[in-house]
Structure 1
């Protein structure tokens, strides 16, 4: 039976904003904050655009609500990413090696911290730490698949 396959690749434009804070830890943390914060803001813009198209109009109240939601989501997800990247880098520096365990430590710490700030109980904080560590570790392993 004939087979066909797709050979090729997709690439997206790469945009780098370089802000030198004078410290690699701060540079990476800010970079994570800005990149993921931008993704979160873009997500909200897409969702709100869909709602405007569905309604057929936009009011100044809806526009203001959308802008506030965009800023809130951007700050939240940017902060989570900044914490994760900072802790992963810190673990790398303390351990003296770059491997999947740093991602696990960063994910677990970030999951626990975000859960604790959300006023969750101890069991939920532990579960969120486990989930954060597992997701970060899985993402790190996916980076190594060729």
Structure 2
């Protein structure tokens, strides 16, 4: 069972499978953040224009769902991979983040039909970002 809290909102996900629990937890957390970001961006542009329409609100809701699903899927894949790598290696360190970030970057690029070079470069970027976050978390 994975227990997490975001501010004062507690969220418990228990599917009976720790790998799935972590994956779903990562998906839910990041999809909410991504949807909120997309919504805030649209509210900003509506305020800047000085008008709100029902079609604009519908379009904004679609964008929020799309962004939430996209970023949630990436986060879920990363968190699930990091959990799996930690279980396989028996450790929990920045190296797991590096491997998981690289695998997630490669997966995202491959799914979006990137060529071999783009897949490789996206894997490097994903690994670098995840490693940086892992090192920062280690320093706390």
Q: Normalized against structure 2, the TM-score is what?
A: 0.93
The count of corresponding residues between Structure 1 and Structure 2 is: 135
Which contiguous aligned blocks of 4+ residues in structure 1 show a shift greater than 3 angstroms? none
Cα distance, 1:14 vs. partner?
4.2
Match of 2:137 among 132, 136, 143: 143
Distance 2:87 2:30 in 1: 23
Distance 2:99 2:36 in 1: 28
Higher helix share: 2
Q: Does residue 1:64 correspond to 2:58, yes or no?
A: yes
Match of 2:34 among 29, 33, 40: 40
Q: How do residues 1-80 of structure 1 correspond to structure 2 at under 5 angstroms?
A: 13-80=7-74
Match of 1:93 among 66, 87, 93: 87
Match of 1:104 among 94, 98, 113: 98
**Matched residue SS, 2:92:** coil
Residues 101 and 126 in structure 2, CA contact (< 8 A), matched pair in contact too = yes
- Runs of 5+ unmatched residues, structure 2: 1-5
Cα distance, 1:122 vs. partner?
0.3
Residue in structure 2 matched with residue 9 of structure 1 by the alignment: none
Match of 2:107 among 113, 120, 127: 113
CA RMSD of aligned residues (A): 1.1
Cα distance, 1:104 vs. partner?
0.7
Larger Cα-atom Rg: 1
Distance 1:107 1:94 in 2: 16
